[in-house]
Amino acid sequence: MEPHWDDMKIFLAVAREESLSGAGRILKLDPATVGRRIARLETSFDAPLFLKSPQGYSLTTAGERLLSHGEQAEEAMRAAAEALAGPKDTLEGQIRIGAPDGCANYLLPHVCARISEQNPDLDIQIVSLPRVVNLSRREADMAITVSPPSAGRLLVQKITDYKLNLVASRRLLATEDPIETLDDLKGRRFVGYIPDMIFDAELDYLNELGVERVQLASNSVSVQLKMVVQLGGFGIAHTFAMPSHRPLRKVLPEEFELTRSFYLVRHQSDQRSERMNRFAELLVSNLRDEVATLEAAT
């Protein structure tokens, strides 16, 4: 029995969601129908494609081999649709960007608003997660990361460097003993990430100051900065975030300043898509401009 392309779409959805119900929600099918279609595809290939367990559906060796072919077929269909539609002056459709909290809160809203104004038929979605976005599961079409991935069939492009500073509120600095050297920070209250929720070593900023205890912690950058302002304490702020938190002041900027980088990560197959290439070019150039503008304002 020849496999059906519609069944391949269902296979990709189950592989990415790791459950029949999750795939069903995306495809607007009930789980029983999804299960029957997977069974039909397994019969077509005369091979089990998934291992079923209480934790969900995981790919077998045969399923892993089929996955790359299914993704290539999916991209070929998408590219064919673009080719038949012909070139257009503006972008359209939906594009989802995954990004770390700082970028998603302080950079992407302005950047995506500008791109949207230029492309009114384009729907842009921002996914802010306290972890690395999983592109293989199509959680997003592209992701902004703070470290370049070293594995997978991915396109990686450096976007820009950005700065981070030690900060405190204007009120705290006016009422506490002056901070003249880094040694003066000993015994002070710090705000930062929840230690066991730091998903990338590049985010472990306070480690570079030798801070052993974080009295106020959150996995959200915006929450951290609000705690610095409202509750008092010292923290690390993206320089580009400081215009959004006017009470913050840099502390010892000549002695302590960090440099990190943003990277744009895409599916390698998207390199053949004019639409995705054009959007990536707009995103990168606008992000570079936004970081430069906001950092210059501090």
Q: How many residues does the chain have?
A: 298
The pLDDT value recorded for residue 161 is 98
| Residue of 151 and 141 predicted with greater confidence | 141
Where b means 16+ CB within 10 Å and e means fewer, 223-233 reads: ebbebbbeebb
Segment (H or E) for 15: helix 5-17
**pTM (two decimals):** 0.78
> Which option is the CATH number for 5-85: 1.10.10.10, 3.50.50.60, 3.40.640.10, 3.40.50.2300?
1.10.10.10
Assess whether pLDDT exceeds 60 at residue 235. yes
The string of DSSP codes covering 92-144 is EEEEEEEE-HHHHHHTHHHHHHHHHHH-TEEEEEEEE-SS---TTTTS-SEEE
Residues of CATH 3.40.190.10 domain(s) within the chain? 93-159+261-296, 161-260
Angstrom distance (rounded) from CA 256 to CA 151? 33
- CA 218 to each of CA 75, 78, 187: distance values in angstroms, whole numbers, following the listed order: 39, 40, 20
161-260: which CATH topology? D-Maltodextrin-Binding Protein; domain 2 (3.40.190)
- Mean pLDDT, to the nearest integer, of 89-99? 88
Angstrom distance (rounded) from CA 101 to CA 253? 23
SS3 274: helix
Give the model confidence (pLDDT) of 268-289 as tens digits: 878 878 889 999 999 999 999 9
Angstrom distance (rounded) from CA 85 to CA 88? 8
CATH superfamily of domain region 93-159+261-296: Periplasmic binding protein-like II (3.40.190.10)
Residues of CATH 1.10.10.10 domain(s) within the chain? 5-85
Give the model confidence (pLDDT) of 50-83 as tens digits: 999 888 999 999 998 998 888 878 777 777 776 6
